[in-house]
Amino acid sequence: MSRRSQKGFTMIELLIVISILSILVRVSLPAYKGIQRDAVATQALGDFNTVRAAAVAQYEATGAYAVDGPTGVVPGGMAPFLPRNYSFTKEQYSLDWENFAVSDSTMGAGLSGNVLALTITASDSLVGRQILHMVGSNCAHWSLENSHTFVVLSTLEAPH
């Protein structure tokens, strides 16, 4: 009776299966990471739209926009216009509301008003680039390292 009739796998067969599995994992891991980055960027785009809608709702209700605040903190007065327990600190990124007073007199009478923006700071530069790619194509923005500031709206007006 031959020894091959015994049930089980040989060491060579197991090594071949393990090699094939490791190749499959190596090939699929970058695609999985890309899908994760896309999901985080999509969440950031949703947060951008949520904060923009809250800013407009706050202005409609109070006649004023939220003042500038620190990174990761919901600006004063905006909380009632955001979903319950809404946080500006996320696992992969943080949000920062910006309210810049602007005055420009270089072109004659000049412009004055406010530029309202949202800064998204990503913990991973690749996530930050994907956020920039998705949100940046829709509005004015500027970037510094992993922080990307997107203009929500502007109240700049020429004096009358």
pLDDT tens-digit series, residues 41-57: 899 989 999 999 999 99
Task: Please name which of 74, 57, 79, 77 lies closest in space to residue 66, comparing C-alpha atoms.
Answer: 77
pTM score above 0.85: no
How many domains does one find in the chain?
A: 1
Q: What is the pLDDT of residue 109?
A: 62
Give a yes or no: residue 5 inside a domain.
Answer: no
Give a yes or no: residue 4 inside a domain.
Answer: no
Give a yes or no: residue 24 inside a domain.
Answer: yes
Q: Which two tokens stand for residue 17?
A: 């299966």
**By the 8 A CB rule, do 139 and 149 touch?**
no
Compute the distance between CA of residue 149 and CA of residue 98 in angstroms, rounded to an integer.
Answer: 9
Give a yes or no: residue 6 inside a domain.
Answer: no
Q: What is the pLDDT of residue 54?
A: 94
Q: What is the pLDDT of residue 1?
A: 47
Q: What is the pLDDT of residue 118?
A: 92
DSSP letter for each residue of 90-157: -SSEEEEEEEEEEEE-TTTT-EEEEEEEEEEEESSHHHHHHHHHHHHTTS-EEEETTEEEEEEEE--B
Give a yes or no: residue 2 inside a domain.
Answer: no
Strand partners, 89: 94
pLDDT surpasses 80 at 145:
yes
Which range of residues forms the domain containing residue 68? 11-154
Lowest mean pLDDT among 40-44, 88-92, 132-136: 132-136
Lowest mean pLDDT among 9-13, 17-21, 133-137, 140-144: 133-137
Give a yes or no: residue 16 inside a domain.
Answer: yes
Give a yes or no: residue 159 inside a domain.
Answer: no
Q: Which two tokens stand for residue 143?
A: 């970037």
Q: What is the pLDDT of residue 86?
A: 92
Q: What is the pLDDT of residue 100?
A: 85
Average pLDDT over residues 107-134: 83
Give a yes or no: residue 3 inside a domain.
Answer: no
pLDDT surpasses 90 at 143:
no
